[in-house]
Amino acid sequence: MKYTFSFPINPQPKQSVKIGSNKLGHIRAYIPKKKAKYMNDLQLLVASQFGSRKLSGPLIIENVLLVFEMPKSWSEKKKKAYFGTAHIQTPDIDNCLKPLFDSMQKAGVFDDDRQLSSYKNIKKVWGYIGGIEVEIGEL
């Protein structure tokens, strides 16, 4: 069985932990608030659409569409020209997939992303509104 999800959220890359120090000089590792909010929001969107089902065994990612919102500063002419075309700037596709799969795991879609054994069609494109579409199924 295949499941399709659509999330109205602009894709963001996985960011590694930052290292900082506080006023007392103690060093600590932390995730920036913006990235933590993105991960939490994505996890809530996944959980709200998938419910309590859990996929088991080897899984296949049939389709992933990462739609990046075009900058507001672009003219309408430029937006029309770029709409639906390949997004070839950073972030890289693989960096955008990691938070998506982590959120799906934390939301209970599957136990571990090691279950993802096959990927078929993954695209990054420009759009008027950012979003993520995923089609996943059991092999």
Q: Any idea where the domains of the chain sit in the sequence?
A: 2-14+24-138
DSSP state of 24: T
Q: What is the amino acid identity at position 22?
A: N
SS3 content of the chain, % helix, strand, coil (to 5): 30, 35, 35
- What does the pLDDT read at residue 50? 87
One digit per residue, pLDDT tens: the chain, 139 residues? Answer: 899 999 999 999 987 777 888 888 888 887 888 888 999 999 999 999 988 888 999 999 999 999 999 999 999 999 999 999 999 999 999 999 999 999 999 999 999 999 999 999 999 999 999 999 999 999 8
At 49, give phi and psi (nearest 5°): -90, -30
Tell me how many helices (H) and strands (E) the chain has.
3, 6
Residue showing tokens 């389709």: 63
Element (H, E) at 48: helix 33-50
C-alpha span between 84 and 126 (Å, rounded): 5
DSSP 69-131: EPPTTS-HHHHHHHTTSB--SSSPHHHHHHHHHHHHHHTTS-S-GGGEEEEEEEEEEEESS-E
Name the CATH superfamily housing domain 2-14+24-138: Holliday junction resolvase RusA (3.30.1330.70)
- What does the pLDDT read at residue 18? 79
At 74, give phi and psi (nearest 5°): -70, 145
Look at residues 115, 133, 7 and name the one whose alpha carbon lies nearest to residue 60: 115
